Chain A
Amino acid sequence: AQSVTQPDIHITVSEGASLELRCNYSYGATPYLFWYVQSPGQGLQLLLKYFSGDTLVQGIKGFEAEFKRSQSSFNLRKPSVHWSDAAEYFCAVGWGMGGSQGNLIFGKGTKLSVKP
């Protein structure tokens, strides 16, 4: 079965430092890749998505992610973290197979804390 792994449950970074959140998915056909952010008490908001083309995608709030097919990864990065980036981040992958077309599989999330 397809799966999505976010190896880091909780990451703490200092404000202004760079950030990389990891996401790996199990082997399958070309996936469709997403990163969502969830602020406390809120729903999920899309940060960025990859369907095809340039493997480095830009998103909102200064985030970017790079798709590496050879590593089955889609890591999220930000060069300089702001205190307002403290939230939980979810990687999601879709394969759109048959009856489950439209479904996404989510990782378990990485909680980001930002130190002043």
Chain B
Amino acid sequence: DAGITQSPRYKITETGRQVTLMCHQTWSHSYMFWYRQDLGHGLRLIYYSAAADITDKGEVPDGYVVSRSKTENFPLTLESATRSQTSVYFCASTPDSAYNEQFFGPGTRLTVL
């Protein structure tokens, strides 16, 4: 049971480049989420998805794009990376019920130079 995986685990890129972070889950969970974790801010929700082809903005969506063509995948794209997007990114998923725990991936550490 692979669970939820993220790739790459580490990424260094330059300002202005497009970057895509991948998230894959094997549980067929309906809900998936992207968070960023920054010192002093905890986890902040970027985007979430309630099902395939249904996505919505979270607290800090600017500069990010998501898609969800398949239930198991939820990629996050930085269309033109900025230094302020240097962060650790976590993907999470949860089953249909709104009140189940969220299961987190191992994270992707992104550095934008």
Contact = CB atoms under 8 A, between A and B. Distances in A.
Interface of A: 32, 34, 36, 41-46, 49, 51, 90, 92, 94, 96, 99-104, 106-109
B99 A108 contact: no
11 contacts: A41-B107, A42-B106, A43-B105, A44-B43, A44-B92, A45-B104, A46-B101, A49-B101, A102-B94, A102-B98, A103-B48
Interface in B10-43: 31, 33, 35, 40-43
Contact of A109 (B31, B33, B42, B106): B42
A108 B31 contact: no
Chain B: interface secondary structure?
Answer: strand
B30 to A, nearest CB: 8
Given A102-B50, A103-B48, A103-B58, A43 B104 contact: yes
Nearest to A96: B98
B56 A99 contact: yes
A96 B99 contact: yes
Given A32-B99, A34-B101, A102-B50, A43 B42 contact: no
B82 interface: no
Contacts of A94: 98-99
Contacts of A90: 42-43
B52 interface: no
Contacts of B31: 102
Contacts of A42: 106-107
B9 to A, nearest CB: 10
A32 B102 CA distance: 12
B74 to A, nearest CB: 13
Nearest to A101: B98
Task: Return the 9 tightest CB-CB contacts between A and B, nearest first.
Answer: A108-B42, A96-B98, A43-B104, A101-B98, A106-B43, A44-B104, A102-B31, A32-B99, A102-B98
Nearest to B41: A108
Nearest to A42: B106
